[in-house]
Amino acid sequence: MDKKLLVYDLEQMPYGDALAIQRYVLDRRQQDLVDDTLLLVEHPAVLTLGTRGDYANIYLPKEALAEQGVTIYEVERGGDVTYHGPGQIVGYPIIALQDFPGSIRGYITAIATALIELLKDEFGIVAEQRFDKYSGVWVGENKIVAMGVAVKRGVTMHGFAFNVNTNLAHFDWINPCGLSKGVTSVERETGRPADYARVKGLVVQYLSRHFDRQPEVKPISELVAQLAQSTEVTP
């Protein structure tokens, strides 16, 4: 395991700001200027629509969502509508796919397997990956990890949303992923809130193992400073 996985904890950050960081890192990874990278973030309540997104799967009018400070983003990942919010760990791995057996399917399986093992080992929660239209990680008929990725010039972006202590009532705003299925969380399955910071550390540990990378945690201030410098406009 001689390859690195740079890990940046964006902590609580609006979706648009995290998306700008993600695209910046993607560009640098495409140019082979940085190692494979994992961005972790907790977003304020937000909805995103993937490339197969249908506004009919958003039940509340935009005006009602706006009153609650909820924005809708149309993004380039696969899938339909997804909710992100407090208590959810969102991961954006920015990975060169050439090292993953089976390319995109192997990469998605690595993420799912890592989180399935985490759920079983740490919480006794039995989950499974599904490959049909109900893709993601499921506990019975309820989704606990949503996944939606994009690949740009051989490098991944977007990723997964892992419901830890998520307010599941917010999923009533949408038809999650357009599937008319239920959702769940670690909190619901165990009957008590999980230690969010601990789970975030476990996500890094399990993903690094399945990516066959050595994690290297980096300060977010370093990345933000780089991004700010790259977007400066010279008079």
* Whether 177 is catalytic: yes
Tokens at residue 98, please? 């050439």
| CA 127/CA 116 separation, integer angstroms | 6
**Which of 120, 156, 159 shows the shortest CA–CA distance to 136?**
159
Which is the catalytic residue, given 26, 110, 145, 177? 177
One-letter amino acid for residue 46 of the chain = V
Residue 109: C-alpha distances to residues 40, 100, 158 (Å)? 19, 10, 15
The values of phi and psi at residue 174, to 5°, are -135, 170
Alpha-carbon span 28 to 153, nearest angstrom: 12
CA-based nearest residue to 47, from 195, 190, 187, 171: 171
HSE-CB for 147 with a 13 A CA cutoff: 23
| Cα distances (angstroms) measured from residue 97 to each of 108, 157, 211 | 10, 11, 11
Q: Annotated catalytic sites, by residue?
A: 177
